Amino acid sequence: MSQLRKDPITGRWILVNITNPKRPEDFDLRPQAKKGGTCPFCAGNEKMTPPEVEAIRNPDTGRDTGGWLVRVVPNKFPALKIEGDLDQRGIGIYDMSNGIGAHEVIIETPDHSKDLGDLTEDEMRNVIFKYRSRILDLEKDVRFRYMLIFKNHGLQAGASLEHTHTQLVALPIIPKRVIEELKGAANYFNYKERCVFCDIIANEKQEKLRVVSENSNFIAFCPFVSRFPYETWILPKTHARHFRSIDDNRVGEMASILKDTLARIKKTLNDPAYNFIIHTSPVRDGINEGFHWHLEIMPKLTHVAGFEWGSGFYINPTSPEAAAKYLREVK
């Protein structure tokens, strides 16, 4: 069982396993080779996952059988559980809540050998359609306040299964990291009456130094304040607060630029581990004035060390200008 806990000092939340803690001998940091054996995300092994939530399927194929293109299932080992009422209270001087939420897995392809960046644009589009439809469905549940979509690729990025997949977590709180970003954007908006992300896009288009690629509705660039080497963001050029409001045409453009960007990163950095995260507004509007949804890709090339942990202040050994040049020029 998991518990949410709130730090009385910084307001930071954690989720902690209180009934089944990992023991010292459970950790293994040795790099893992590609495993043989049976993968629960491969076509033919549908019975190894919890029953499917949604899928894009060939006609005449049934639920939890083969013949799918993208398949969404509940996480077998969810960080948060969907059953139960939200229970938030204090214990002594601390505040906690139970771990209510949803944790789903979007299996991007039945083919174990492919990575997300290897999919065709059509296949990538189907994946993004599923991101959107799962958010729209889960948002009906009034207990959920934030929808976090993220991908871990490779062991160093925290991927526990190598078959390519994305995760969606529906949270009963708005995470601190999101609040900070929303508040930062709102402060800027209150001062300038403009969206900070729109200003950044205009700046990057003019300077060109950090731009990786563009299409008519999206831009990919290495942000001026990149925490990590080769960090790359993808933003819709038109101001939009919510990812889930993306229209079908823009899903196609997003698929195209995401495929292109992942291919550039893979080629430039020899298939590095990476995380990506969709930053979007909370479910019900509130402090999202001046917020602009986007996707942040963070290759895992360095180890976060004491300096970063102590300061929240990242040391980046590659300027985003240099990173963008490499990513722009790669064949």
* Residues labelled catalytic: 165
Range 129-132, long-range pairs (CB < 8 A, 24+ positions)? 129/56, 129/70, 129/251, 130/54, 130/56, 130/70, 130/72, 130/106, 131/106, 131/166, 131/168, 131/243, 131/278, 132/243, 132/244, 132/246, 132/251
Q: Which is nearer to a copy of itself, 136 or 315 (CB)?
A: 315
For 154: left if phi > 0, alpha if psi spans -120 to 50, otherwise beta; the answer is: left
CA dist 213 and 316 (Å) reads 22
Could you say which DSSP state residue 100 is in? B
Residues 6+ apart with CB under 8 A from 325: none
Provide the minimum distance between the beta carbon of 12 and a copy of itself in the complex, in angstroms, as a whole number: 6
Q: Which is nearer to a copy of itself, 99 or 110 (CB)?
A: 99
Provide the minimum distance between the beta carbon of 49 and a copy of itself in the complex, in angstroms, as a whole number: 19
Provide the minimum distance between the beta carbon of 237 and a copy of itself in the complex, in angstroms, as a whole number: 17
Q: Which is nearer to a copy of itself, 254 or 323 (CB)?
A: 323
Provide the minimum distance between the beta carbon of 13 and a copy of itself in the complex, in angstroms, as a whole number: 5
CA dist 196 and 270 (Å) reads 33
CA dist 322 and 182 (Å) reads 29
Provide the minimum distance between the beta carbon of 6 and a copy of itself in the complex, in angstroms, as a whole number: 7
The sign of the dihedral angle between the CA atoms of 263, 37, 300, 72 is positive
* DSSP class per residue in 229-246: TT-EEEEESS--S-GGG-
CA dist 279 and 207 (Å) reads 24
Q: Which is nearer to a copy of itself, 68 or 279 (CB)?
A: 279
Residues 6+ apart with CB under 8 A from 74: 49, 50, 51, 53, 82, 102, 103, 104, 105
Inter-residue contact 234 to 240 (CB < 8 Å): no
Q: Which residues pair with 73 in a beta bridge?
A: 105
Q: Which is nearer to a copy of itself, 46 or 260 (CB)?
A: 260
Provide the minimum distance between the beta carbon of 330 and a copy of itself in the complex, in angstroms, as a whole number: 9
E strand intervals along 108-208: 146-153, 165-171
Q: Which is nearer to a copy of itself, 63 or 192 (CB)?
A: 192
Q: Which is nearer to a copy of itself, 48 or 225 (CB)?
A: 225
Provide the minimum distance between the beta carbon of 126 and a copy of itself in the complex, in angstroms, as a whole number: 21
